[in-house]
Amino acid sequence: MIRTSRRLADGREILYFDAEDSPAPEHVAEDTRDLPPLSTHSQLRRDALLGEEVVIAAHRQSRTFLPPADQCPLCPSRPGRPTEVPESDYQVVAFENRFPSLATSVDQDVPPTAPGAPLAALRPGFGRCEVVLFTSDHDQHFAGLGHDRARLVVDVWADRTAELSRIDGVEQVFCFENSGEEIGVTLAHPHGQIYAYPFVTPRVERVLGSVRRHREGTGGDLFAEVVDAERAGPRVVAADDHWVAFVPAAARWPYEVQLFPTRRVPDLPALEDAQRDALATVYLDVLGRFAHRFDTPMPYIASWNQAPVHAGREDWWLHLQLFSLRRAPGKLKYLAGSESGMGAFITDTNPEDVAEQLRAVVVP
């Protein structure tokens, strides 16, 4: 993989990624836009009752929202129409978000606590948010990228995870994709995002707590036992020697699949070449099943669960959560009182039935 670093008009970094067998890329096009300097005023506020961080990012209200295709800011630039990518074409691109929730240049001048709440500790919203463009083709989807491009994206995820993990103060790197307006996507161009958090996220902390309690109580390895059981169980959707994709036994979402490598690694950079090749194949297979389960592609969130940068790495097992809010044709699963209010999920589908339905999908 060839990585080329450039700067946008407001000073943000943009990275071009090209396959090794590509003609030597130059990527010399300049960003001709007149952009104001990036200004981020995020804060982290600690919820004293839940013991969790909340990012306050009110400056993001003005971000771009559902522009028409001919005004997409993620497409390549063309004469008279400069975008976030100065080049006229590209393979995979990553750049600092123009409207970030977290930033390394964030305003550091914040009080120690929220107004009138001495128990709500407050600190700057330090971190980094990047956008990853999977292709220059506005009308493409990840499921249609093909193996070679999907493999390049995997390498980009690994590259960015390794680089962002080296930033002093970053505690966890999260690669994800939101797909479909029903999910809340505001830009239709095929892309994902990467957040470098200055804290360990609540989900990862909770899973690590379960892993440690299981080891203390039984002496066993919770991740390994889950993977071994699911590989031999009725909910497998796709598998090979390196990866297994299954509907979890206690799935929270109408359609949910988890992808685990069959050999423990803590994060994406730790994957070997054979694992990365196999991941591109299995992931495209599962995404294809999501795309063709109903008469229209399912909206989804693809969420990489990686080990924290420092604590708990030896206990972690890299995995992907892929889930959709769609429960039936034309029907979505809304997070209502029980889910949103109490965090107690009530599912509308049976995990074993969902696995059988996904296995039966014929992908063109």
Q: Which positions are catalytic?
A: 191
Which single residue is written with the structure tokens 């509907």? 247
What are the structure tokens assigned to 30, written together?
């300049």
Tokens 């999907």 sit at which residue?
Answer: 150
Q: What is the dihedral of CA 210, 214, 215, 219, to 10 degrees?
A: -170
Whether residue 92 contacts residue 133, with contact meaning beta carbons closer than 8 Å, is answered with yes
Nearest to 363, CA basis, from 283, 245, 260: 283
Q: How far apart are CA 159 and CA 164, in angstroms?
A: 9
For residue 7, the cross-strand partners are 13
Paired sense of beta strands 128-133 and 191-197, if any:
antiparallel
Burial 80-110 (b: 16+ CB within 10 A, else e): eebbbbbbeebbbbbbbbbbbbbbeebeeeb
- What single letter denotes the amino acid at residue 356? E
The H-assigned helical ranges of the chain are: 147-165, 202-218, 222-231, 273-292, 342, 351-360
Concatenating the DSSP letter of every residue in 223-269 gives HHHHHHHHHTSTTEEEE-SSEEEE--TT--SSEEEEEEESS--SSGG
Q: Is 21 helix (H, G, I), strand (E, B) or coil?
A: coil
Q: Give me the residues paired with residue 85 across strands.
A: 76
Strand order in the sheet with 43-47: 52-56, 43-47, 117-124, 113-114
Cα angle value 295/147/131 (rounded, 5°): 80
Nearest to 195 by CA among 266, 100, 271: 100
Is residue 159 helix, strand or coil? helix
